[in-house]
Amino acid sequence: MNVLFIASECTPFIKTGGLADVIGSLPSSLKKTGVNVSIMLPNYSDIPEEYKERMTLVKTLTVHVGWRKQYCGLMKIVHQDMTYYFIDNEYYFKRKGLYGHYDDGERFAFFNHAVIDVLPYLDEKPQVIHCHDWQTGLIPAYIKTMYTYQPFYRDIKTVFTIHNLMYQGIYPATIFQDLLNFSDEHYFGIEFNGCINFMKAALFHADILTTVSETYSKEIQYPYFGENLDNILGHRKEDLHGIVNGLDYDEYNPQTDPYIFKNFKHSPIEKLVNKLLLQEELGLPKAEDIPMIAIVSRFVEQKGFPLITHVLEELLSLDIQLVILGTGDAEFEHAFKDAAYRYPEKVSTRVTFSEPLARKIYAASDLFLMPSRFEPCGIGQLIALRYESVPIVRETGGLKDTIVPYDEFTSSGNGFSFTHYNAHDMLYTIKRAIEFYHDKDHWFTLLENVYQANYSWEHSAKRYTDLYMKTLKG
């Protein structure tokens, strides 16, 4: 079975968030189930030179973007046994950063049109096209409308995965005439609230919809999480499946990770070496018995930072160390820098993104805090489990599906969690975690459960394969 993934980011080529990790790791697990996957991405200038050098040109063609005729190069690399295609156009993709340009609507309209036009020139014709997030949302719409009369496209099935419903690709209705290549009768399939909406276009047209956890697939059918699209998702609930993301267990492996101070597996003693050396590196007091709580995240509202800033003083009155790494909204960056300035013995804040430091923090910390307001899946809690740092999460989306709260009576659970989006509920849960941290019988029982957790891709890859089969039969 030939499946083509289409996305706007993918490790190791280009990454801004968790989407890139999924696109960079799920295909190799799918391959093990017998699916032949290739991946297609924009050829951004930010892709490192080592990969650019290895690209070969497959085909050049002219792509229509409304009335414009634009150059498109189809490039290709085979990397670790996987074929990657890149859509090349310097006018649209030779820029710093992936998103946030004034003409993102035009850039991704071009990308979507180009993807459709290059399909006949791939090594193998895809039977299923698996699109990810709004940047690819028009592709299922074109295949199911303008292209259904062309024999090459007629039998291609489309799967669309929602990684985050909050980002939809919303543009003024005028782009319909100006940038898109639909005939008028298809306007209502891609319009929402008087605007063109790339995400809605996909939700309306794709054969199968998926999202990245079972709980999020249910949550988004309600207004609180539905970002205005809850009704349409409710209408499509028979075709909407929640499949939890896995983690690349080879890439994230504390036994072999080259970035951490000391490799370890199921060994609190060796993990402690990482903690002491990180304390030294960050200028925190070297202390074995003070719980180190880690935050590694984008600093945005979605991730629950308003809860943390709301109770920061109370939190810092506890005997803890807080290690914070990430970048994002200025208000949170300031709050955390300020906390580090006022509590140098307790807080270390690094406003940057550094993969090596992130790994050291996962390896060193005792607890990992992720109180998201909503979380389609989340990857931080999975990396934390893998590096034997106990997650404290809010029960939403993928956090709810992967973290089971510790129950001291049955000794079950692999973390701590709270239900309501409330700062003092979070604080109470952190205090509970700290109490158990100091009660070594419970703590070691909890760690045993953490060691048992397995969130690699195998199971979820199988579920995607079953869906591809189902849609091909249907």
Residues at the contact surface with ligand GLC, assessed by CB under 6 A: 17-19, 22, 163-164, 212, 245, 375-379, 398
Q: Which residue has the tokens 């988004």?
A: 220
Count of beta carbons in the 10 Å neighbourhood of residue 83: 18
Rounded to 10 deg, the angle between the 423-438 and 440-452 helix axes is 110
- Output the six-digit token pair for 125: 């014709």
Q: Which is nearer to ligand GLC, 145 or 215 (CB)?
A: 215
Q: Which is nearer to ligand GLC, 164 or 215 (CB)?
A: 164
Shortest approach of ligand GLC to residue 297 CB, angstroms? Answer: 11
Shortest approach of ligand GLC to residue 398 CB, angstroms? Answer: 6
Shortest approach of ligand GLC to residue 441 CB, angstroms? Answer: 34
Rounded to 10 deg, the angle between the 458-473 and 18-32 helix axes is 70
Shortest approach of ligand GLC to residue 58 CB, angstroms? Answer: 29
Cα distances (Å, whole numbers) of residue 18 to 26, 220, 227, 430: 12, 19, 20, 25
Q: Which is nearer to ligand GLC, 22 or 450 (CB)?
A: 22
Q: Which is nearer to ligand GLC, 144 or 163 (CB)?
A: 163
Phi then psi for 7, rounded to 5 degrees? Answer: -155, 170
Q: Which is nearer to ligand GLC, 17 or 268 (CB)?
A: 17
Query: Cis omega (within 30 of 0) on the bond before 12?
Result: yes
Q: Which is nearer to ligand GLC, 12 or 17 (CB)?
A: 17
Q: Which is nearer to ligand GLC, 24 or 73 (CB)?
A: 24
Shortest approach of ligand GLC to residue 303 CB, angstroms? Answer: 9
- Give the whole-angstrom CA distance, residue 290 versus residue 14: 37
Q: Which is nearer to ligand GLC, 141 or 377 (CB)?
A: 377
Shortest approach of ligand GLC to residue 19 CB, angstroms? Answer: 5
Shortest approach of ligand GLC to residue 397 CB, angstroms? Answer: 7
Closest residue by beta carbon to ligand GLC: 18
- Give the whole-angstrom CA distance, residue 416 versus residue 377: 17
- Give the whole-angstrom CA distance, residue 382 versus residue 375: 13
- Give the whole-angstrom CA distance, residue 103 versus residue 356: 34
Q: Which is nearer to ligand GLC, 304 or 378 (CB)?
A: 378
Shortest approach of ligand GLC to residue 39 CB, angstroms? Answer: 15
Q: Which residue has the tokens 């979605």?
A: 302
- Give the whole-angstrom CA distance, residue 403 versus residue 153: 42
Query: Angle at the Cα of 56 (from 51 to 61), degrees rounded to 5?
Result: 120
- Output the six-digit token pair for 58: 């497959």
Q: Which is nearer to ligand GLC, 389 or 402 (CB)?
A: 402
Shortest approach of ligand GLC to residue 308 CB, angstroms? Answer: 18
| SS3 state at 414 | coil
123-126 long-range contacts, CB within 8 A, separation 24+: 123/38, 123/83, 124/2, 124/36, 124/38, 125/2, 125/152, 126/2, 126/3, 126/4, 126/38, 126/156
Shortest approach of ligand GLC to residue 454 CB, angstroms? Answer: 17
DSSP assignment of 228-297: T-HHHHHHTGGGEEE----B-TTTS-TTT-TTSSS--SS-HHHHHHHHHHHHHHHT----SSSPEEEEES
